[in-house]
Amino acid sequence: MSRTIKAAATPSTAPSGNDTVGQAVRELIADVRTRGDAAVRELSARFDRWEPESFRLDEGRIAEIIGTLDPQVVEDIKTVQANVRRFAEAQRDSMSEIEIETAPGVFLGHRHVPVQSVGAYIPGGRYPLTASAHMTIVTAKAAGVPRVVACTPPIRGEIPAATIAAMHFAGADEIYVLGGVQAVAAMAVGTETIGKVDMLAGPGNAYVAEAKRQLFGEVGIDLFAGPTEILVVADEHADPFVAAVDLLSQAEHGPDSPAALITTSERVAEEVQRHIEEILPGMQTGDIAGPAWRDHGQIVLVDDLDEAYRVADEFAYEHVQILTENPREALDRMRAYGALFLGEGTCVSYGDKVIGTNHVLPTRGAARYTGGLWVGMYLRTVTYQEVREEKSSAELGELCGRAARVELFEGHARSGDVRAAKYAGAQLPWTDHYASDRA
């Protein structure tokens, strides 16, 4: 039986459709749809105090911005992107295209066709999230997307140089310093200067997430993103200090970011809680991580690892870190998670920033039915069919006629009838079209 050592003061729930946010976003999208660039400019000035002559950066300006960076920053961006690209390309290579012959002369197949244009939103705000450029743009390019439009907001009236560098090296075809709903809407519906895209990707604040939700269907999206989540599963062999540091590493994403520990050891539970209380006062982002842990932090004590994995699946969290004696056991035991981080040598922060797997992952229980952003999300698996043998087409025609009439689809049935008549001399009781030919 599990026992809660620390409960969340404010339980995290699925999005409730905030009417205030929803209505505001609806009006902003409508404004961009109606007035295009004029609306985008006014909204950027209102929300970001940003109204440059052009939101789009040309190649010369991009080069100038990158030139202001420490060479080590540039080198690190390229190294991380190489890691992301290597994994994304391996994923793409794993996706086979097929063609099989299901009956004599009947060929069925599928191909993986890239989305033709993607809008990547790279958040700014509290943190300049250069890693989001790696995850959204590099992965899209690995999938073969020919046009990637990338938007990021100014930060306190300044262009975020490292983010621009990340967008450029990732392969963005168009880079705009533009944020918020106005950026997402402009990419989705198009304006006089920003061509519309087929799909939106990337995280953002509540307004950006709501804009993606409202625009879904008109364009595709990657995921409905919520606050970042971390769950640590620990046994008696875990280092409580490591567990505490890792829990707080994700709590600093935002004051509503859930962080949870499930452990088989009461000692580990107590020491993790003590370490967190000791670390928080000296943590530069403690003003964010503190409320997150206070309101959304949880510690659950369980009898054994069987129960730990069962409870962890009920959480269905975005990031699940396994600090146990045999961490790979979780690969076979767990089913509901965005990404697993196995063993003390691996941490969620590696996945967020450098290791190469994608950090755009399902939250708020969505891990029960979907994985995270990967190269396959930018591909459409489309099928094709070809019947080369007349005998097979006639047999399918007879079958189609019977099957369609069970469903009262006479038009469908007749398409099958025609092949059966043309290729095998079957009768067509509803027409004498082929009768004279056979006579």
Q: With contact defined as beta carbons under 8 Å apart, do 50 and 157 qualify?
A: yes
Give me the mean pLDDT over the 149-161 stretch: 96
Q: What is the pLDDT of residue 439?
A: 53
**Cβ atoms of 153 and 183 closer than 8 Å:** yes
Model pLDDT, residue 435: 77
Radius of gyration of the CA atoms of the chain, in A: 27
How many Cα atoms are found within 13 Å in the side-chain-facing hemisphere of 420? 17
- In a 10 Å sphere around its CB, with 0-12 CB exposed, 13-18 middle and 19+ buried, how is residue 435 labelled? exposed
Residues 6+ apart with CB under 8 A from 387: 105, 106, 107, 393, 396
Residue 342 has phi, psi (to 5 degrees) of -100, 115
Calculate mean pLDDT across residues 16-27: 85
- For 334, the token pair is 């767990």
Q: Which residues are catalytic?
A: 318-319
Residue type (1 letter), 43: L
pLDDT band with cut points at 50, 70 and 90 for residue 437 = low
Query: Which band of pLDDT confidence, cut at 50, 70 and 90, is reported for residue 13?
Result: low
Residue 154 belongs to what H/E stretch? none
Residue 1's pLDDT band (boundaries 50, 70, 90)? confident
Weakest-pLDDT range from 17-31, 288-302, 359-373: 17-31
pLDDT bucket at 327, cuts 50 / 70 / 90? very high
Give the sheet arrangement for strand 117-121, strand by strand: 174-177, 147-152, 117-121, 199-201, 220-221
Joined together, the tokens standing for residue 109 give 């197949």
Share of the chain above pLDDT 70, in %: 97
Asked if 160 and 65 count as a contact pair (C-beta separation under 8 A), the reply is no
How many residues in total does the chain contain? 439
Residue 105 near residue 394 (C-beta atoms within 8 A): no
Q: Could you give the residue ranges of the DSSP H alpha helices within 316-426? A: 329-333, 348-353, 390-406, 410-424
Residue-wise pLDDT tens digits, 163-191: 999 999 999 999 999 999 999 999 999 99
pLDDT at residue 414 greater than cutoff 60: yes
pLDDT, one tens digit per residue, over 83-136 is: 999 999 999 999 999 999 999 999 999 999 999 999 999 999 777 889 999 999
pLDDT tens-digit map of 282-318 = 999 999 999 999 999 999 999 999 999 999 999 999 9
Q: Give the C-alpha separation, 196 to 189, whole Å.
A: 5
Would the pLDDT of 45 be above 70?
A: yes
Query: How high is the pLDDT of residue 436?
Result: 60
| Cα dihedral 70, 253, 251, 338 sign | negative
pLDDT at 135: 98
Handedness of CA 285, 290, 295, 298 (dihedral sign): positive
Residue 19 banded pLDDT, cuts 50, 70, 90: confident
Mean pLDDT of 24-43: 98
pLDDT, position 129:
87
The two structure tokens encoding residue 208? 């950006």
Q: Which pair of tokens denotes residue 274?
A: 């003590």
